Amino acid sequence: MTLTITVAAPSSTANLGPGFDVFGLAVNAFYDEITLTKTKTKGVIIVAEDDIPTNPDKNTAGLVVKNMIKKFKTKDGIEIKIKKNVPAGYGMGSSAASAAAAAVAFDKLYKLKLDENLLVEFAGTGEKASAGSIHYDNVAASVLGGFVIVKTDPLDIIKIDPPSNLRMVIAVPRLKVPKRKTKVSRSAIPKKISLTSSTKNLSNATAIVVGFMNKDPELIGKSIKDMIVEPARKHMIPGFSKVKENALKAGAYGVTISGAGPSVIAFSKSSQDLKKISQAMTKGFESAKLECQTIICKPSIGAKIKT
Ligand code: HSE
């Protein structure tokens, strides 16, 4: 009988410009690790070294496990050990990585063999703890890996394997982020948009999908253009315009906000000078007197049992 299991799930970038709440890409920058152990004492206990909520109702992994216990009427108590590596609140899919790892771990622990859409749906219930609403772009990427398209009503995740030479440079600014940052930055998005913006975004989003299908990093990067969400959020990221301009000048194909920010992500390919792009982004943030950590990364596989 399995008593304990550890699953690692990757960080992710959501939106990729025009694909707000629809596109997600798993990236190998960081991995959260969740260990679930069956206990004799009923209830859910969270053990975490880092400064994260240990109340299961306020913790993404805790919420997922509680929901799954309820749904599958399992009888044991569960201890959740969280090793948090994805920086929280920076647009790298931190809450989603823990939620995805928790859902996949629970599935394995009880040998439920849930299909991918159901796993994503359960992982999505954890997002509510941090974003205030459920959105599936990050969790879908973290569960499945690669590039994902979130189709809803009913939830149906489409996965495409990214080009093997696709590379990203992510700049994470050292910036104090507001509590419940995703909720705050979602409230900045306009409720109404013009037909022109919608048409441009649709055209670029479609081209991104074709870029992934044709394994074409240049088409992907050059289509990372967002007329709707980026303009409404960029004021929250000091130096954003300079970071973007610098990265494009250094050869990046496209640059945008990673998820709800404040990290900025540049798209490129392995044969390009990625260090040059990373230095250009650092200089961009310096213009706003901000330090940043840059990570050169590539697409990741999804949540996986750690052996
Ligand atoms: N699509 C979401 C947003 C991702 O941009 O608000 C948040 O992680």
Catalytic member of 33, 79, 121, 127: 127
Q: Which fold has domain 4-161+301-305?
A: Ribosomal Protein S5; domain 2 (3.30.230)
Span 109-121, mean pLDDT? 97
Pocket probe for ligand 1: among 137, 184, 201, 236, the residue whose CB has the most ligand atoms within 8 Å is: 137
pLDDT in tens, 291-304: 999 999 999 999 99
Domain residues of the chain, as ranges? 4-161+301-305, 166-297
Atom from ligand 1 closest to the CA of residue 185: 6
Buried b (16+ CB within 10 A) or exposed e, 145-159: bbbbbbeeeebebeb
CA of 110 to the centre of ligand 1 (A): 31
Catalytic member of 60, 182, 256, 294: 182
Atom from ligand 1 closest to the CA of residue 91: 8
- Give residue 164's pLDDT: 98
The CA-based diameter of the chain, rounded to the nearest angstrom, is 59
pLDDT in tens, 59-110: 999 999 999 999 999 999 999 999 999 998 899 999 999 999 999 999 999 9
CB 299 within 8 A of CB 25: yes
- Give residue 69's pLDDT: 96
CA of 170 to the centre of ligand 1 (A): 16
| Contact 181 CB / ligand 1 (< 6 Å) | no
pLDDT in tens, 198-227: 999 999 999 999 999 999 999 999 999 999
| Contact 226 CB / ligand 1 (< 6 Å) | no
65's tokens: 């496990």
Q: Indicate the average pLDDT of the chain.
A: 94
**Ligand 1: which residue has its CA nearest to atom 8?**
259
125 part of the active site? no
Q: Bin 177: left if φ > 0, else alpha if -120 < ψ < 50, else beta.
A: beta
Percent of the chain whose predicted confidence (pLDDT) is above 90: 85
**Ligand 1: which residue has its CA nearest to atom 1?**
21
pLDDT in tens, 1-31: 779 999 999 999 999 999 999 999 999 999 9
| Contact 233 CB / ligand 1 (< 6 Å) | no
CA of 183 to the centre of ligand 1 (A): 9
This prediction's pTM: 0.96
Quickly list H helices, the chain.
60-72, 94-109, 116-131, 137-144, 181-186, 195-213, 217-222, 229-233, 240-249, 274-286
CA of 203 to the centre of ligand 1 (A): 20
Span 34-56, mean pLDDT? 89
Report the distance separating Cα 127 and Cα 89, nearest Å: 12
305 backbone dihedrals φ, ψ, rounded to 5°: -65, 135
79 part of the active site? no
**Ligand 1: which residue has its CA nearest to atom 4?**
259
Span 239-267, mean pLDDT? 97
Report the distance separating Cα 298 and Cα 74, nearest Å: 38
Percent of the chain whose predicted confidence (pLDDT) is above 70: 98
CA of 126 to the centre of ligand 1 (A): 14
Q: Which fold has domain 166-297?
A: Alpha-Beta Plaits (3.30.70)
Q: At a CB cut-off of 8 Å and minimum separation 6, what does 197 contact?
A: 227, 228
pLDDT band (50, 70, 90) for residue 130: low
